[in-house]
């Protein structure tokens, strides 16, 4: 929840459906950053 709040404390949209879409976009952005931070391990040998 802390990371979601880093992208903004408030929702800009007034309509409920647009608020849902706005939150979904924030989640996609956070998942993208998480995917970038996961190391790729390869077997050596």
The answer to whether residue 43 scores a pLDDT higher than 80 is: yes
Hey, what are 33's tokens?
A: 């950053």
Average pLDDT over residues 24-37: 89
The answer to whether residue 34 scores a pLDDT higher than 70 is: yes
To the question of pTM greater than 0.85 for the whole model, the response is: no
Average pLDDT over residues 27-35: 89
Nearest to 11 by CA among 3, 25, 19, 28: 19
Task: Give per-residue pLDDT as tens, 4-21.
Answer: 777 777 888 899 999 999
């Amino acid at each position: 929840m802390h990371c979601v709040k880093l992208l903004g404390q408030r929702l800009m949209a007034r309509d409920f459906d647009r608020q849902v879409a706005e939150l979904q976009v924030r989640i996609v952005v956070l998942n993208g950053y998480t995917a970038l931070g996961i190391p790729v391990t390869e077997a050596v040998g």
